[in-house]
Every structure is written in C-alpha cells, then in structure tokens.
Amino acid sequence: MIWIIGRAGLLGAEVSKAVEKLGLSFAATGRELDILAPHALRDFARGKDIHAIVNCAGYTAVDRAEAEEDLAVRVNAEGPENLARLSLRLGARLIHLSTDYVFSGTKREPYLESDAPDPVNAYGRSKAEGETRVLAAGPDSVIVRSAWLYGRHGGNFVSTMLKLMRERDSVDVVDDQHGSPTWAADLAGVLAGLAARPDLPAGIYHYSGEGQASWYGFAVEIQSLALKHGLLDRACSLRPVATSQYPRAARRPAYSVLSQEKIKALGFRAPPWRESLERFILSLRGMQS
C-alpha cells in the first residue's frame, strides 16, 4: 500500500484522490501523526505492507519561516529524514516534496536537477537541508521539486486572487518574479504514478506546469479565465509592481523555472500551465453550481 503523509494539505488532499483513481490501496495521515515522532511513525507502519511513502507534510509558511527557522528545519529536514530512515527499514520508497525555492533565481534558463541549491530564504534553506538528509538516509528516495502550487484545498495564489478581485477595484501584483504555476491535481497524478512504479530510478526530479509567468501574468490569466467561465462578474484593475514595492519578510527568487526534461523522459506529462488553470477554474465553477 501507499502511505500518504500530509493528507489535509493543499497537495496531500489531491494525492489521496489521484492514488484512489489509479485503484491503488493507501493509508493517509495528517497532523495527528507527527513526522517528528519516529516511534509513532514506526508504530503506524507496523503490520502494514507499505511499498511507498509520499510525504506532502511540511512547514510551508515562507515568510514566517524567517522568524522560525529552527522549526522549519525540524519539519522540513528532520521529519523527512525520519521518513527516509523508516522507508529503508520497511523496504519502501520515500517520495518527498521539495521546491523551486531551493534556488536563488539568478539563472535565466530553466533550473536542472543537477544545479546546486543556493536558497535565499529560511524556507528554501530548510527544504534544501531536507533534500540532503533524505538522500543520505534513504538513497532509494525520490525527491520531486515543484513550484507555485494552487488547488482547491488550503491557501494559495489563485484563491487569494479570486477573493481580492471580487472585493477590490484594483490589485497590485508583483511582475518581476518568474516561475511556473502548477495545479496540485496534475502534480498529484505524477506522484501517484511514481508511487506505482518502484522500478523508476531514484533521485531528484523537477515537475511543474509547462511554461512560465510572472505573478502578475498569472493573475491576468486567472482574471481572464474567471470572467470567461462566470466566476467573476466584473473586471478589476490589475497593476504590475516591482518586488521592491511589495516588501515581505522572506526574499524570493526572481526566476525559478524548473526544467522538465528529466521527468518527461520517464513518460510523465506536464500540461501547459494555462491549460491546467482553465481546467481548475472550470472545476471551481462546477462546485458553485
């Protein structure tokens, strides 16, 4: 069976659905089973025939991590290391999530899996340390770095933008950070596929929506699709601004597009990000009616 950890999160909730769709048996745990408690993890796994663990649990508050780096490192590095150790004992494969924020964003072409992490914020440092500790403790692990996730569950850029667009006449959006918007349901499908294929090579893979955008460009597309499909009944004015005009606690990479070539070579498809965004917006419309 597949063990999904972080079931209540933005991504974890979608992974359970994707695994179910493939007809695979699974168990899913949330906050009640702390990834910082190795004995409790071992107790949970006892007697179960677990062949893959998908870890979607994490400390994901990018700005708050600046003031809580110790906690971020515990959850994003010590926790995953516990899971890598346990995977080794169980003879199961750990599939662990990481992020484009392990990179500084100084490159101007898509980041490769072989590029060295050089994070510019506490969250990125904690995730980079998690990668190192997972691969050291569980060499058969798979790490999937993704980016700019949105979906039905949890706070995310699309739901925040739709709310602001309904409430305000104008919204300022950062236009000098570029990345790849990724629908959590697409990523969940890939994670389920990886969990079903223990024969695939271990190591780091990148997966995000195909193509790139700035946060402003992403917001423009959200508004346009939401108007087209009746989720908004009027347009609000979107204004592109520089990061310097929108100060936050954590620095962000200016460019964090991830190369998809390695995972594509395994046969996984990354849909163009606009295509996925439209499917997501249509799924929200379905929920409204």
Contact between 189 and ligand NAP by CB under 6 A: the answer reads no
Q: Residue number with the shortest CB distance to ligand NAP?
A: 9
Binding window for ligand NAP (CB under 6 A); candidates: 45-53, 54-62, 238-246, 261-269: 54-62
Please pick, from the candidates 26, 79, 129, 280, the single residue that binds ligand NAP as defined by CB under 6 A. 79
Give the amino acid at 13.
Answer: A
Nearest residue (CB) to ligand NAP, 11 versus 86: 11
Please pick, from the candidates 58, 105, 119, 253, the single residue that binds ligand NAP as defined by CB under 6 A. 58
Q: How far is CA 191 from the centre of its chain?
A: 11
Establish whether 216 is a catalytic residue: no
- Find the DSSP H helices in the chain: 12-21, 38-45, 69-73, 79-90, 122-137, 157-167, 184-195, 215-228, 261-264, 273-288
| Side-chain half-sphere CA neighbours of 178 within 13 A | 15
> How many residues form the binding site for ligand NAP (CB under 6 A)?
26
Binding mask 129-168 for ligand NAP (x = CB under 6 A): -----------------xxxx----x--------------
Q: What is the DSSP string of 14-75?
A: HHHHHHHHTT--EEEE-TTS-TT-HHHHHHHHTT----EEEE------TTGGGT-HHHHHII
Q: How far is the CB of 166 from ligand NAP (least distance, A)?
A: 22
Q: How far is the CB of 38 from ligand NAP (least distance, A)?
A: 12
d(C-alpha 240, C-alpha 246), whole Å: 11
Please pick, from the candidates 35, 73, 194, 270, the single residue that binds ligand NAP as defined by CB under 6 A. 35
* Residues with catalytic roles: 123
